[in-house]
Structure 1
Amino acid sequence: MFVHKMDEDLSLKLMELRDGERVFELTNHSREYLKEWLPWLNTTTKLEDTLEFIKIALKDLAENKSLNTVILFKGKIVGVAGYNSINWSNKTAYIGYWLGEDYQGNGIMTKVAKALTDYAFSELDLNKVEIRAAVGNKKSRSIPERLNFVNEGSIRQAEWLYDHYVDHVVYGILAEEWNKNRSTFNTNI
Structure 2
Amino acid sequence: MYVKVCGITSPKDAESAVAAGADAIGIILFTDSKRSVTLRRAEAILKAVSGKVETVCVTTTRCPADISSICRLSPDAIQTYHDHTIPDRFVSISGWDGITLPTDAADCLLLDASHGRGIPLNVHHAKAAIAKTKLPVILSGGLTPSSVGDVIRSVGPAGVDVSSGVEIRPGVKDLNQVKAFISACRGEYP
Instruction: Give the number of the structure with larger relative contact order, counting CA–CA contacts within 8 Å between residues 6 or more apart.
Output: 2
Q: Which structure: greater helix fraction?
A: 1
TM-score, normalised via structure 2 length: 0.28
TM superposition score normalised by structure 1: 0.28
Instruction: Name the larger-Rg structure.
Output: 1
Higher relative strand content: 1
